[in-house]
Structure 1
Amino acid sequence: MSTSYKSPLHEMASTTPTDFWNDSCSISELQYALEYGAVGATTNPVIVGDVLKKEMPLYKDRIKELCSEMKTGTEDDIAWKLNEEMAVAGAKLLYPIFEKTNGQNGRISIQTNTKYYQNPDLLLEQAVYFGTLAPNIQVKMPTTKAGIWAFEEATYQGVSINATVSFTVPQALAVAEAVERGLERREQEGKDTSTMHPVCTIMVGRVDDWLKVIAERDGIIVDPVCLEWAGVAVMKNAYKIYKEKGYRTQLLAAAYRNHHQWSEFIGADMAMTIPHKWIKRFNASDVTAEKRIDKPVDPKIIEQLTKHFPDFIKAYEPNGMTVEQFDTYGAVTRTLLQFLKGYDDLIGMIRDIMITVK
């Protein structure tokens, strides 16, 4: 690493087209990430709950105020209001980057209610509303069958989307095609798309997680190294196809489990949303910030994964799944359940304060 850069992440952000974001709505964590070149941030129910657990003294008085202000509000109403305020606070911090890049960076993502994963109309309604919270808001919706429809409609209405609960090449391609349809409809009506910036997440670490669950469940023996590269292989294949097709959606890597899920994507025109603990690990590492996106995953790894895991084929091959199959893919259902539990935990924290407010 050159002595002119603070860390490998800072060098990557300064010298390559690869962006990184802070995977948290914590202001202190976002400020730290910005020092090293971060240009965005993301939230979800689990993240909001984790921030509250770690930083409750910063938010407890505000929650009490909301309880007083929203006298007939439910704990859900207060939780969503707090969620929105956290996103808006992050948006203010990122706004100078947003202005400087004409909307291509400097955004924070806020996630729609996971309970709407099967309801396209509710996803769209909440997405359009979230888009009014700040100019640099990006709206996360799940890559389910309902989500694919909502991505097109929200894009058409001018919302910059972030497709989440996404793990596979078929999902990433369906998202990109939906966004293209939405953008084209806007452009046909003379509406501006120049400041819009849609992204599609691939939760690379959760691809590995799911195959490890299958290996344990079914007693499958493979070289354990293979199970650390599945998500990387999926992302590299999706990126190659995105470049070939010229999609205007940017890929976004998420869900970190090892450094390959960062270092193997350096040099790509993509973003990475990285949790604070991994930002600090990567900053402290001796991994070099060299271009690796075009380096293929070892074919022997692809061969083993393909031989033993039909669910890897579903994730890796462009035609591995239909849109109708997205909702029942194992990594999708596991993540939806985690997000729903994270929301329940968040509501529980709000309820504890709400019930005891005097």
Structure 2
Amino acid sequence: MSERLKALADAGVSIWLDDLSRERLRTDNLAELVAESSVVGVTTNPTIFASALSKGDAYDGQTAELAARGSTVEDAIKALTTDDVRDACDVLAATAAATDGVDGRVSIEVEPGLARDSDATEAQAKDLWKIVDRPNLLIKIPATLAGIPAITKVIGEAISVNVTLIFSLGRYEAVIDAYLSGLEQAAAKGHDLSTIHSVASFFVSRVDTEYDKRLDAIGTDEATALKSKAAIANARLAYELFEKTFAGERWEALAAQGAHKQRPLWASTGVKDPNLPDTLYVTELVVPGTVNTMPEKTLQAFADHGEVKGDQVTGRADEARETMAALEALGISYDEVTEVLEEEGVDKFDKSWAELVETVKTALDEKGAGKE
């Protein structure tokens, strides 16, 4: 058992692995991480699946079967990814049972190309939920303008959701409202609210990457002093918003019906700047009742030398506001930065999906029966 990761978990942070592959499942590596590294959840995305599919031979048998049946690339992707996610859900089923479904969660993402199509996002979310058929699944839906209404409708059907690609406080506020509206719709339809779970994935490291690029362009001592401070400040303000929203009358009425809070999830927590401590976005965002989803490299780094210095978020909103105000005073627009990040995020999702499509198409073609 990693004592450092256990200390992080004991501080109230749910540790989720940002990776999944059939190799992990077949070798029981995921089960080992659950048993020895305090991992209580898994998140996936098309890039992760493309990487897994391009390495080794774990998928060869199923790919050959799919090719022999004349499966389309789209159908093959659905089969390959949902099988992995279903198996991961089974590995984490005991964790889900032990935590009343709060943890033990595995996320699968709707097709990124649907990020601007609310109805199509809703339809695919329902389809994936039905195919995987596990109560500890989370459907990842991006927090785009089109994604917001889809989140409400999907939650309203008692489907648990991981809202991804959140950068700005304004959009996060809309995400929380979408979740609460979805719970209200679910209650009106007679669904058991205690079965619905959600996390809101607030992206971290990419915020510093964009701000720091602009601070470097300014080049003053004042600008340099603010480098790598925006992301943590932004996340701390997001947590303040979470605390305020899940304390009002609207929330209390839902809680009385068994609803669960939509927990903040710190995503993109691997550092992009090699000059920064590799566990920065874990150590500085420790606060009870949150999730930190980490790539394995970050997980291993924290297990080796990570520090838990107690709650680093509660009560630090004023300090965070000062940081963001100082950045604004230098002429860096918060709205502009977060808009750029969302657009880039959607583009990266699209490219990741294209990579996955190409990987699967190549695998099917090698078996002699691939087709679009």
What is the TM-score with the length of structure 1 in the denominator? 0.87
Match for residue 161 of structure 1? 161
The question of whether the paired residues in 2 share the 8 Å contact of 1:306 and 1:313 is answered with: no
Q: What is the CA distance between 1:259 and its match in structure 2? A: 2.2
Match for residue 106 of structure 2? 108
Deviations 1:201-229 (A, max 9, x none): 0110111122234446x555454453322
For 2:76, which of 75, 78, 82 is the aligned residue? 78
Letter in 2 for 1:101: T
For 1:347, which of 343, 357, 362 is the aligned residue? 357
Any stretches of 5+ residues in structure 2 without a counterpart? 252-260, 272-277
Match for residue 13 of structure 2? 18
Letter in 1 for 2:294: I
The question of whether the paired residues in 1 share the 8 Å contact of 2:223 and 2:330 is answered with: no
1:270 matches 2:268: no
Q: What is the CA distance between 1:298 and its match in structure 2? A: 6.4
Deviations 1:87-109 (A, max 9, x none): 11211111111122222111100
Pairing of 1:245-256 with structure 2 (within 5 A): 245-246=245-246, 248-256=261-269
Q: What is the CA distance between 1:289 and its match in structure 2? A: 4.8
Match for residue 255 of structure 2? none
Deviations 1:272-293 (A, max 9, x none): 1111110000110152352222
Letter in 2 for 1:84: T
Distance 1:160 1:205, change over 3 A: same
Letter in 2 for 1:281: A
Q: What is the CA distance between 1:231 and its match in structure 2? A: 1.4
The question of whether the paired residues in 1 share the 8 Å contact of 2:286 and 2:308 is answered with: no
The question of whether the paired residues in 2 share the 8 Å contact of 1:11 and 1:289 is answered with: no
Match for residue 127 of structure 1? 125
Match for residue 228 of structure 1? 228
Pairing of 1:301-320 with structure 2 (within 5 A): 301-312=323-334
The question of whether the paired residues in 1 share the 8 Å contact of 2:128 and 2:139 is answered with: yes
2 CA distance for matches of 1:89 and 1:356?
A: 26
Distance 1:299 1:104, change over 3 A: closer
3-state SS of paired residue (2:200): strand
Match for residue 322 of structure 1? none
* Alpha-carbon RMSD: 2.2
3-state SS of paired residue (2:138): strand
Q: What is the CA distance between 1:260 and its match in structure 2? A: 2.5
Letter in 2 for 1:37: S
Pairing of 1:14-93 with structure 2 (within 5 A): 15-26=10-21, 27=24, 30-34=30-34, 35-53=36-54, 55-69=55-69, 71=70, 73-93=71-91
3-state SS of paired residue (1:340): helix
2 CA distance for matches of 1:87 and 1:142?
A: 19
Q: What is the CA distance between 1:50 and its match in structure 2? A: 2.2
1:261 matches 2:281: yes
Match for residue 3 of structure 2? 7
3-state SS of paired residue (1:265): coil
1:199 matches 2:199: yes
2 CA distance for matches of 1:102 and 1:95?
A: 10
Letter in 2 for 1:17: G
The question of whether the paired residues in 1 share the 8 Å contact of 2:129 and 2:137 is answered with: yes
Farther off after superposition, 191-200 or 258-267: 258-267
2 CA distance for matches of 1:83 and 1:201?
A: 21
Farther off after superposition, 286-295 or 74-83: 286-295
Distance 1:305 1:106, change over 3 A: same
Total equivalences in the alignment: 337
2 CA distance for matches of 1:32 and 1:295?
A: 36
Letter in 2 for 1:252: L
Deviations 1:133-156 (A, max 9, x none): 122110001111110000100000
Any stretches of 5+ residues in structure 1 without a counterpart? 316-325
1:291 matches 2:297: no
What is the TM-score with the length of structure 2 in the denominator? 0.84
For 1:356, which of 351, 362, 366 is the aligned residue? 366
For 1:280, which of 269, 290, 300 is the aligned residue? 300
Distance 1:38 1:94, change over 3 A: same
Q: What is the CA distance between 1:194 and its match in structure 2? A: 0.3
2 CA distance for matches of 1:192 and 1:184?
A: 11
